[in-house]
Every structure is written in structure tokens, then in C-alpha cells.
Structure 1
Amino acid sequence: MLEINRLCRSFNGRQVLRDVSLCLQPGEYVAIVGESGVGKSTLLNLVAGLDRPDGGRLVLDGVDYATLDEEALTRLRRDRLGFVFQAFHVLPHLSVVQNVALPLWLQGVDDVAAATAAQRLLDAVGLGGRAASRPRELSGGELQRVAIARALVHGPRLVLADEPTGNLDPGNAAKVLALLGERVRAAGAIGILVTHSPAAAATADRVLRLTPDGLRP
């Protein structure tokens, strides 16, 4: 379970987030929308443990972020979080299966087990036959499917997606969004999609709007 309780964050004297609260259970997939500059990326960075709030609490599966030092937060991100970005962030010098296996390698999983798990996820996202390919050989939609597989391969409790279809055409965007929601739910993870697109938001189980006064249905 993810508990966000009255989070606040200010920059240079300007309050960006105020009293943001949300509780999510495993298997829930929500979209957060809002005007540009309202703090969507700031909220995502706080939930990812990349920034610290000025006030409020973040608790994931009973672990309070405030009790963790930077090393422990790094382990939390490595072991319990998965990320899907707009820019894919696949490594060009690695094969597709190696890119997907990367989170497992970082956890110390041996090469054979990591490759087997990565291949299973590639099969699930329809790229089983592209395991040996290099990223330059894939389309944008395929690269984003690789990113989804990589985000889920280590069984994260929380998957964070930041404008994951911003670089895709509408057809590929719809396919990627459907796949992301399907895989998050199938894994029993908590999914948070941050987007400015109403069409993208509509693929989530529910949509929340971030305003200067907090999150609203």
C-alpha cells in the first residue's frame, strides 16, 4: 500500500504542493493530470524518493520514507520501484534483453536467471523475438514496450510513469498505454501515470486532478 499524507513542497518561497494526500492499494492504477507547473513532476519525484517533502509523510508497504537515508532510498528505488519515462532511457550499447535484465543485475541476480526473467517479460509485451536486437533497430513504440518490461521485470511494488507516450504517435501511444495498464494490474503493482493527455489518463482506473489545493477526483 502507498500512503501519501498531506505532502507539501516549496521552491524559492513558492509553494508547489500543499496538503496532497492519496492512498493506493496493490493493483490500483491511477492517472494524475493538471495544468502545466502545478507540481505533477514534483509529486512524482517525491513518491520516487528523488526529493524530500517539506512536510507530510510517504509510506510504502509500511516503510516511512522519512526514516530512510539516501542509501536506503536508493535501495528502495532499486528493489520496489519501476520507472517508465517519456524518453525511454534504454541503453544503446546493450541488447534488448540486456536492457530489460538490468534491474535484476543491479539486485545481484545471476545472468541466467536475469535473462530468463527478462525474456519472459519480453514475451509478455510482444517482443520475444527481438531479444537480441539493439535499441537502434526498434521503433519508438517498441522501445517503450522494452521500457515497460524493464520497469516490471524485478516485481516492483510501485510503477511510476511520467508522460510515457509523449514521443509516440497516437496509434502507438494507445497500444503502449493499454499494455502498461494491463501489465501493472497483472503484476498486482500500484501504478501512477502522470500525464497532460486526457486520452492517456482515460486508460487508468481513475483520474485525479492535481490543483494548488491538493488532489481532486
Structure 2
Amino acid sequence: MTRQLVAQCFFEMMLCGKASKIEDRFYAILPQSKYKDKINQVAHWKLNNMVSVKLKLFEIMDTKDKLTLLFLAGCNVVSSFTDQYPLNFDLGNKSTITLHHHARDLHLYYFLQLTAKKYCVIDLPSESDCNDDSFILMKPMMTKACDDLQLNLASSEIKIVCLTYFDESTLNSDAERDASNNCKLYLFGCFEKNKWMLITLKYFNEWSHHYVNNNGTVFNIY
């Protein structure tokens, strides 16, 4: 629990700090963290906004902290069970979550490559079949994201994927499973082109396909 509180404090200070200069939060916080060996590199980092802060964190942090940051972005909470239950990710494999980029139209596009042990998939529901208001409200954002990623939102290739933070096969009580429901990432995108974006959804009761990721499926999350 102490380790978890330290991690929460690290992310709160790094992401919500009031430093007048972006780099000042690194100078103030890194010496108190397990990343203190990076302090001499800060002057060479080009940090000018919170996007650059998060990108740098994804670059320097260990696998566990990268996953925490990603799930904070996707669901705003990481349960107090963090240190007690196995995760749906291989923490011993550095390639479980890695930061990459590519250039297109004179712009750099950053993306995370993420590999989970298990994932669930459903087809993209139509508005008439979906009673999730959050999904309907996100349709304009999804349309723009598809344009940016050169995907066709109307295509049958577009899917929604659910990635759980915990290995749910290890959770026994209703309280544990309820807590796990608050720690899930939802992605929409295309397996064929391997382009995915985070999406905010309420819990879906039924998923058409459940996969154990024996093939090492990697999700490129933009």
C-alpha cells in the first residue's frame, strides 16, 4: 500500500503540479522518485506542454508505471488492489508497453504499443442499438479520429476492444470484480491496420469474443 501511495503521489505531482515552468516539476519530483538518475537529462528534454510531459514519462518509466499512466488516462482510476492481484499484463517484459512514433505529412505521430494477456472484442454498435449515451456523445470525436488515422468509421472492420487492468480470472469476490470494472480501457479501431484510440464507455454486459492473447496481438494506441 505504501508503494501505491508513493506512485499516486508521483503522478499527482507530475501531472497536476503548479510549477511555472514545465521542466521545474521534473527537477522537483524526480529526485524523490526511482527515476532520480534522469535528473541530469532534464535540461536536454524539450518540454513545453502536458503532452510532452506524458510522452517523456512513457519514455523513461518502467512497465508498471507506464501502465498506470495509461489507465489513468483511460479510466481516471487505478484500484487499491493494484499491489495485491496479478495484472492482465506481463510486467517482466519491457515490450509490454513501449512508445513509438512515425512521420506523416511533416508531422510526428506518437503511439503506444501495448500487449495484454487477454482482451475482449465487440463490433461497433449502431446508435439505434446502443443505449450508452457516452458512446453516442463520442461519435463526433470518433469520426475525427478515424479521419486522422485514415480509417472508415462506417466499415465493418471497426471494432471496440476492452482491456482489463487485472487478470480477472484471479478475482473471486463481487467487490473485487466491481473494482476491476472501474479499471478497464476501451479502444476503438481496426485490427487490419492496427490503429486504435482510447474511448470512454460505460460497462458492456456482453462481449461477442474473448481472447487469450496467445498470438501476442499488439495494439498500436494513438
Q: Same fold (TM over 0.5)?
A: no
Structure of higher RCO (CA pairs closer than 8 Å, 6+ residues apart): 1
After TM superposition, the score normalised by the length of structure 1 is 0.31
Structure number with bigger Rg: 2
